[in-house]
Amino acid sequence: MQKNILNLLLNNSMEDRRIFSIFLGNFQTIQLKKYILITFLITISLLGISWIIYPNELNYSIMTDTISYLGDYEKNPFGWVFFSLSFIFVSISFIPLTIYLHKRIIKISQAGAWIGTIFLAIGILGIFLTAFLPDVYGTDFFNDVSLGKIHNIVALFGIFGFILGLSVYGFLFFIDYWSIFHRNRKGIYAYLSVFPIFLPFTIIGIGTLITQILRVRAGGEWPGLGILSFPLWEWLLVISFFITVYGLALRLPQKIPKTED
C-alpha cells in the first residue's frame, strides 16, 4: 500500500515537472506537434462557438465586424464568454512557443532576439488583456473612458506587438541567411527555408498598410468597402500570426545548435 502511494506521488511529481518543462519551451519534436495541434484546435473551437451563437439578426461578418465584436457581452450575451476563453487560452499557449523560438533565435543575435521576444511578449499580454476588456462602448471604465476605448488601446498593443516581434525575427533570419552580415561565414539557420513561412505575414502586413491608407484617404469610412475593409485585414493578420509562429516552431531544429564564441 505504502509502495503504491509512493509510486503515485513520484509519478505525479514527474508529470508536474514534465508539464513545467513544456511551459518553459522544452519540447520534444512529437510533443511540439501535438501541442500546436491541440492548442490550435481548442482556440478555434472556442472562437467558433462564440461566432456560431452570435445573434443571427446582427449578421456578423468578417467584412464588417472585427474579431473583438464577438466579445461584446451586450451584442453577444451568450457567446462572449467563449471569445474571452479563446483569447485567454491562446495567449497562455503562445508563451511556451515564444520561449521555444527565443532559445533558438538568440543564437543569431542575443540583442535582436530579446527585442523581438519582448515585442511578442507585449503582443501576448495585449491578447490576454483583451479577453477582460470587451469592445463595449456603452459601459464606462473610468469616468468618461469607455471599455471600448481601453479595449482598442490594448488590442493595438497586441497587434503591433506581434507585428514588430515577428518583423524583428524575420530580419534576424534575413541577416543570418546572407553571409556578408557575419564575416562571410555560413549562417546558423541558412540551410533552412524559413522565408516562405514569413511570406503570408509579409504580404498581409503590406496589404493591410496599403488598404488602410487608401481607406483613410478615401474619407476613412468605417469599416471600409470591399477590399478596404479593416475587419477583413484584421482577420487575415491574426491568421498570419498563427502561421508564422507555428511554422517557425515546426521548422526550427529541436536541438539548439552550438555557436562559436
Taken in order 115, 118, 124, 125, the sign of the CA dihedral is negative
Q: What is the pLDDT along the chain (261 residues), one digit of tens a residue?
A: 555 554 544 455 555 677 778 778 889 999 999 999 999 999 999 999 999 999 999 999 999 999 999 999 989 999 999 999 999 999 999 999 999 999 999 999 999 999 999 999 999 999 999 999 887 764 444 444 467 788 889 999 999 999 999 999 999 999 988 766 666 567 888 888 899 999 999 999 999 999 999 999 988 888 899 999 999 999 999 999 999 999 999 999 998 887 764
Task: Please tell me the distance from the alpha carbon of residue 261 to that of residue 248, in angstroms, as a whole number.
Answer: 25
pLDDT of residue 141: 40
DSSP 252: S
Cα(89)–Cα(31) distance, rounded to whole angstroms?
18
pTM as predicted: 0.87
Quick one: CA dihedral 57, 58, 62, 63, positive or negative? positive
Q: Which residues contact 148 (CB under 8 A, 6 or more apart)?
A: 135, 136, 137, 139
Q: Output Rg (C-alpha) for the chain, integer angstroms.
A: 21
Distance CA 29, CA 176 (A): 23
Q: Which residue has the cell 493578420?
A: 237
